[in-house]
């Protein structure tokens, strides 16, 4: 009782005392304030966390009071939309601010720039400090995607796997098996493409910048890549084959106006029941199976990306991750939060809310996959095994490089010569790489 009174009065000991009070009663639990101090060496510290507006954040947010109670650290969580977050972070870091202490960012877009500018603190020492954290449990591809020059710069939060979305009912009606190879894939599209009836064989991203992640898996599966070492490689025969395949499929079996489609428009069309196949990140699956968003919610199937001439090589990488500001005044408190947010228990809890996470053990457990459709969970796990760890050129100016590379597909869809487009893009990409290296 007295303890509760104290906490209501809001004395300096409030946090420690409330923790005990709610801890469950018995006198043995009432530790001396000195003992509390030892258990909560960081009590009273405050950290600021900038997070992107995403189901991951929604799932973690209600748990934060528990963390505050356990550690005595006060967490100021600020949530922003993607674009605003990026701008806000750029402004904070440019001015050398010590907030936020912790932030979410996309390593594939920003890790090189952030590391070069000294905005992110290396995390290797922290990650291996506590054996219970089981850092080795994170899927290898996502850790590679979070590492730069051998230094771990962030902890992967959720992941992206490139998979196939298809209409179960349409395939069944037409006696078409789920395509396993690119040839079967195109054959199926050809059969199902009926633009007169407003039904298309295929839909995918067509916006220059946005389509690059999607076309990457086609390029990899034909044996190509964006870069080989420090050399741009988008005009090699393998890469061009991949770009051409994607452009042809979109052009021949896609809907009108595909050039202005990002994932939202593309999956929207698929969810409207207007297309037989769609390829994109598995993380978007809810848009296709949520009855409130999709007219075909119960008719969507998921599969592994079909194999090209060099095998099935879809991407599987860290989508967003958690990083630490190198100027943070409370690095230990910041790490305590990061460790807690990404520990096994929370990774499982968040994955159960439908966000595909990065921990292998969670994927291996029954609880970790039961909230996903069975075929989706299988497709994600298989893709994690065979996946490529990147889906954009690995340079500092990612946006610029995406514009250059994406133009190859756009020009091909517009009917221009694809080899000429690829040669030009290769020159531009090489210039971007050279500029990165000269800085």
Partner 1 sequence: MVGIVNWLDRHLKWVFVTPALLFIALMVAFPIFYTARLSLFEWSMSAVQPPKWVGLDNYAALLASKAFWHALWITFYHSSISIVLETVLGVAIAVLFSKKMFAARAAKTMMMLPMVATPVSVGLVWLLIYEPSIGMANQVLKRLGFETQEWLGSVTQVMPSLIIVDVWQWTPMIALIAVAGLATIPSDPYESASVDGANAWQKFTRITLPLLLPTLITAITLRVIDLVKTFDTIYATTQGGPNFASQTLNLMIFDTAFSGFKFGYASALLIVFFLMLITLVLVLNGLRRKAGSLQ
Q: Which residues bind partner 1 (CB under 8 A)?
A: 86-87, 90, 93-94, 96, 113, 116-119, 198, 200, 206-209, 255-261, 265, 269, 272, 274, 397, 399-400, 407, 410-411, 414, 439
* Residue 356 CA, distance from chain mean position: 9
Q: How many CB atoms lie within 10 A of CB 416?
A: 12
Closer by beta carbon to partner 1, 262 or else 365? 262
Cα 280 from Cα 219, distance rounded (Å): 14
**Structure tokens that stand for 413 in this block:** 């869809």
In whole angstroms, how close is the CB of 151 to partner 1 at the nearest point? 15
In whole angstroms, how close is the CB of 282 to partner 1 at the nearest point? 24
Closer by beta carbon to partner 1, 208 or else 331? 208
Backbone angles phi, psi at 198, to 5 degrees: 65, 30
Closer by beta carbon to partner 1, 115 or else 143? 115
Closer by beta carbon to partner 1, 73 or else 203? 203
Cα–Cα distances (Å) from 423 to 218, 239, 243, 287, 372, in that order, read: 18, 11, 13, 37, 42
Ranges of beta strands (E only) in 217-331 are 227-228, 231-232, 275-281, 300-304, 316-324
In whole angstroms, how close is the CB of 175 to partner 1 at the nearest point? 26
Closer by beta carbon to partner 1, 304 or else 398? 398
In whole angstroms, how close is the CB of 410 to partner 1 at the nearest point? 5
In whole angstroms, how close is the CB of 255 to partner 1 at the nearest point? 5
In whole angstroms, how close is the CB of 292 to partner 1 at the nearest point? 17
**Structure tokens that stand for 289 in this block:** 């199976």
End-to-end CA gap in the chain: 64
Closer by beta carbon to partner 1, 110 or else 280? 110
Closer by beta carbon to partner 1, 120 or else 146? 120
Backbone angles phi, psi at 433, to 5 degrees: -65, -45
Partners of 319 in the β-ladder: none
DSSP 349: H
In whole angstroms, how close is the CB of 4 to partner 1 at the nearest point? 47
Whether the CA torsion 302, 306, 311, 313 is positive or negative: it is negative
358 and 159 Cβ atoms separated by less than 8 Å? yes
């Amino acid at each position: 009782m007295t303890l509760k009174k104290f906490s209501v009065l809001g004395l300096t000991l409030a946090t420690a005392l409330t923790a005990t009070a709610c801890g469950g009663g018995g006198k043995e639990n009432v530790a001396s304030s000195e003992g509390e101090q030892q258990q909560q060496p960081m009590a009273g510290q405050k950290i600021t966390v900038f997070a992107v507006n995403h189901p991951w954040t929604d799932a973690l947010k209600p748990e934060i009071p528990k963390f505050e109670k356990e550690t005595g650290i006060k967490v100021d969580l600020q949530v922003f939309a993607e674009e605003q977050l990026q701008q806000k972070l750029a402004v904070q870091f440019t001015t050398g601010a010590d907030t936020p202490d912790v932030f979410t960012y996309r390593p594939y877009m920003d890790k090189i720039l952030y590391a070069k500018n000294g905005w992110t603190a290396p995390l290797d020492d922290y990650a291996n400090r506590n054996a219970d954290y089981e850092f080795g449990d994170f899927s290898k591809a996502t850790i590679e995607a979070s590492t730069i020059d051998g230094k771990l710069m962030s902890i992967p939060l959720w992941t992206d796997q490139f998979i196939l979305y298809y209409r179960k009912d349409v395939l069944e009606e037409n006696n078409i098996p789920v395509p396993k190879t690119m040839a079967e894939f195109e054959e199926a599209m050809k059969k199902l493409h009926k633009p007169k009836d407003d039904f298309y064989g295929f839909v995918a991203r067509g916006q220059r910048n946005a389509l690059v992640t999607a076309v990457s898996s086609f390029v990899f599966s034909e044996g190509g890549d964006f870069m080989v070492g420090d050399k741009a490689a988008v005009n090699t025969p393998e890469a061009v084959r991949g770009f051409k395949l994607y452009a042809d499929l979109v052009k021949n079996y896609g809907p009108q106006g595909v050039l202005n489609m990002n994932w939202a428009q593309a999956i929207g069309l698929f969810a409207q029941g207007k297309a037989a196949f769609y390829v994109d990140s598995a993380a978007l699956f809810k848009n296709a199976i949520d009855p409130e968003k999709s007219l075909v919610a119960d008719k969507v199937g998921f599969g592994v990306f079909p194999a090209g001439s060099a095998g099935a090589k879809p991407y599987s990488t860290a989508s967003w991750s958690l990083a630490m500001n190198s100027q943070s005044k409370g690095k230990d408190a910041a790490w305590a939060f990061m460790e807690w947010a990404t520990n096994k228990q929370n990774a499982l809890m968040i994955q159960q809310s439908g966000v595909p996470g990065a921990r292998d053990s969670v994927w291996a457990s029954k609880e970790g996959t039961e909230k996903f459709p069975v075929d989706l969970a299988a497709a994600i796990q298989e893709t994690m095994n065979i996946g490529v760890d990147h889906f954009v050129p690995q340079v500092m100016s990612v946006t610029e490089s995406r514009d250059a590379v994406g133009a190859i597909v756009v020009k091909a869809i517009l009917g221009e010569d694809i080899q000429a487009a690829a040669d030009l893009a290769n020159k531009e990409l090489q210039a971007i790489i050279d500029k990165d290296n000269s800085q």
